[in-house]
Each structure stands twice: as C-alpha cells, then as structure tokens.
Amino acid sequence: MGYKVAIAGVTGAVGREMLAVLERRNFPVDELIPLASARSAGKTVTFKGKQITVQELTENSFDGVDVALFSAGGSISKKFAGACVKAGCLMVDNSSAFRMDDNVPLVVPEVNPEAARNHQGIIANPNCTTIIMLAALAPLHNAVPIKRVVASTYQAASGAGQAAMDELADGTRAYLDGKDFEPQVLPHPYAFNLFPHNSPLMDNGYCEEEIKMVKETAKITGDPEFKVNATCIRVPVLRTHAEALNVEFRDAMSVERAYELLKVAPGITVFEDRANNRWAMPSDVAGKDDVYVGRIRIDPSQPNTLDIWVVGDQLLKGAALNAVQCAELALDCVPS
C-alpha cells in the first residue's frame, strides 16, 4: 500500500532532508506533494529521479493526502493544522507549536513508539537536542532508571535553518579574507566564535532551548523523576550537534554495562579509539542517521554517575529522520 505524502517547507534545510530520508528508507510514497511559500512555488525538487514542481501551501493542500511532514515554522504549523487534520491527513510537525499540547504525542521512536500510534491527527517532533540526548540515553534508562542529567550542548548552525548555515559560511569566508561582516540571522559573529543559544531568555536565566530539553524529556519519558539541567551553546559547526551528558542513575550502572547496552541499541553507534584519544566529532557524524556515543567514564565526584559524549546530525535524527520514523510508526510502515 502506498501513500500520498506532502512535505510543507520542502525547500528548507530540514524539508530537503525529509525528501531524501523518504527516498532512502523507501517509504511507500505513491504521490509526493512538495509544498512551500508562494515565493518558492514553481521551483522543482527531485524525488526518485523525477522533477516535481513545488506548490504553494494553502488550506486546500491536504485533500486526499495521507501524511504531511511539516518543517515550515511554528506559525505556519498552527495556521494549517486545522485544515490538515480536517482533511484526514496525519500531520507530523517539526516545530515547537504542539510539543507541549496534552492532546499531541511528542515522540522519539526509541523511547515512546507507542505514542505515535495513539495520535489524534498530529504528532510532534521534539527539539533536536532532546531527540539526540534521549535516543542515546533510552537504552540505559530502560535498564537502570536515570535520576538526573546535566547536559551541555554544542549546537550547529542548522538548528537555526539554512540561512544560519549560509551566514556561518559567509562569515567565515569574510573573517579569513579580513573583511567586515555583519550577521543578520544570528545575534553575534559566528565564525571562530561561540555563544549561549540565541533563543529567548526566560526570567529564571535559562533560555527557551534549555527549558525545552527539561519539559520535553518529562513528557516523552513520562517519568517525573527524570530531571534535566541544560546549558545550550551555539558553536561554528554546520549541521551536527554534540552533547556532554553527566548522567546520574538511581542505582549502579557500570561503564562496561553502559557500553554493552549501547552497542546493541538501534540507531546508536559506539565510536571511539581510546588509545589515540579519538571520539566522535561533528565531521564524523554529518550525514549519518545514527547517534554516535563514546567516552563513557565514571564521574568520581558522586556515586552512580557516568559522563557520556553524544553526537548526532541535527538535520537527520534531530529533525527529518525522527519525523519520518514517527510517520512509519503511525502508519505501520516497515522501512526497507
């Protein structure tokens, strides 16, 4: 059985990855409907060797469509959600618009796959840092429940979209050429620099990105005792996030046991060369589906605590791949 599939925001960085993931996983697409804003309508995208014209996203775009993957921003998701659901089309939304809605499941397939099958027309894709963290920690949490995680994230430009990726490239070129460059997308110079995440700052001193990791983890795991504290930093990397996780368990978890669990976990690659102090880097993981883990070690400052290094492609597992996996679960499609 094949499906009529739409991608809203198909010309953006995540939208293009969604297109590629659908093809690579052989998702059963009978007809593809690429959707974007009026200014992008008329452009073409390639799917399975065919050029398909991009259509303008309207409220009539979902007639006869089985599933729509959205990555066009929260305001667009909110604007078109009603029309999408009314048309009987499953919406898998990559924005933050519905993540904390009690009636919308927030899904990381490695953590709560059953939630994707219990939707009411909309499935929310979590924040990229949350997805990458929980994909790596789920095998460990299932064996020995986690009490607390202190997460330090090193986030790529892709999390702010294609324009931020372009700005990083242009700013780096200008820096090397000794030319002035005024950033337009991000608030600070990005080349050879890093700064706290640019999402809005809350009254408690944490930024919105950090709060997302806290709230989304609680919803996805359904475990109120699983606490998260996060510090999120933008680093001059194009598309791959890294995270240093300090993980306190509720009982003993050895380094050896952690490696055993992660080596057989779906969607995880253990990557390291201890003899040469070599661990996964963004350049190793860019374009890869798996979340890479390594450098697992005991925290000597408190019991039952491990430090873990995690790297994941923000555009793939952090966004497009996770969304397609949610659709596969909801429609009971087995990737080939």
Catalytic residues, which ones?
A: 128, 241
Q: Which one-letter amino acid corresponds to residue 169?
A: A
245 touches 133 (CB < 8 A): yes
Bridge partners, 220 (sequence order): none
Give Cα 88 to chain centroid, integer Å. Answer: 26
Q: Which residues contact 271 (CB under 8 A, 6 or more apart)?
A: 279, 280, 284, 292, 293, 294
- The three-state secondary structure class of 212 is helix
* Tokens at 322, concatenated: 């996770």
Residue that is written with structure tokens 């996030």 in the block: 241
CA–CA separation, 63 and 103 (whole Å): 23
291 touches 268 (CB < 8 A): yes
CA neighbor of 161 nearest in space, from 8, 314, 265, 4: 314
